[in-house]
A = this chain, B = another copy of it.
Amino acid sequence: MPTDTPQPNFVLVRPQMGENIGAAARAMWNFGLDRMRIVAPRDGWPNQRAVAMASGAGRLLDEAVLTPDLPTALDDCAFTFATTARPRGLTKPVYTPEEAMKEAHARVQAGEKVAVMFGPERAGLENEDIAKANAIISVPVNPEFASLNLGQCVLLCAYEWRRAAHAATPMEYELAGTDWASAIEVEKLSEHYEDRLSDAGFFFPEEKADSMKTNLRNLWSRMPLTRADVQTLHGVLRQMVRWKERG
């Protein structure tokens, strides 16, 4: 059974080596975190190498939530961080691990579900993955030598989580009778816009369509949207379609 301590979910996206999944589990549990989600692990699941490496933190692997794709892993989360080693040409707020885990702590204390994504060992997260995040975490490393591996990146974030959770001065958000939108609500908003704008011929020319879609998704995911905002933005689009249909 996971502990009942409110905490973020650490999401390993397409991890490659079992050893690194096990090392991530140990790194998390060293700092009291035990909610792992794993998206499409390269070598399938369960993974004996992960179990061997996790040793005393094996429970985290047994209880890990396995999903086939990233949207499923994030669908109940209202705020998602993506860890990246280098700039990606996407407009997002960039946090240090310390700032990010303070923010995560404040949100978790307020009852929100928070996720922190970690990419595959070799290449890190794809831009398409990062576009689903609200913010980026970048570890301030030596610019001449940036070679943190997956386990080390998890370790530093978990360490900062524990620092934030034990220093606790919770921040408050004023939410006027509404709640933050969850990732699945933002995802559905993205899809709604993408579908209707496709019908309307927005993604043109063809060779630019994919990057236009990524930019638009990034725009929605980056905004601090409440449920009420999401309803308004759906309503805006529906009204434009109705107007068209009336001719």
Which residue numbers of A lie inside 8 Å of B, CB to CB?
Answer: 26-27, 29-32, 55-57, 87-96, 98-99, 136, 139-142, 144-148, 152, 155-156, 159, 162-163, 166, 169, 171-178, 193, 196-197, 199-202, 215-216, 219, 222-224, 226, 228-229, 232-233, 235-237, 239-244, 247
Contact = CB atoms under 8 A, between A and B. Distances in A.
Q: Could you say how many copies of this chain the assembly holds?
A: 2
A222 B175 CA distance: 12
A219 B215 contact: no
Q: Which of A93, A241, A242, A244 has the most CB of B within 10 A?
A: A244
Nearest to A146: B30
B30 A148 contact: yes
A236 B197 contact: yes
Nearest to A29: B145
A232 B220 CA distance: 11
Given A91-B229, A174-B90, A159 B162 contact: no
A35 to B, nearest CB: 14
A162 B96 CA distance: 12
Contacts of A142: 29-32, 162
A173 B94 contact: yes
B92 A174 contact: yes
Nearest to A235: B202
A236 B213 CA distance: 12
Contact of A173 (B91, B141, B159): B91
Contact of A239 (B139, B141, B197, B232): B197
A201 B31 CA distance: 49
Contacts of A224: 93, 222-224
A159 B140 CA distance: 8
Given A30-B146, A140-B163, A152-B155, A95 B171 contact: yes
B88 A174 contact: yes
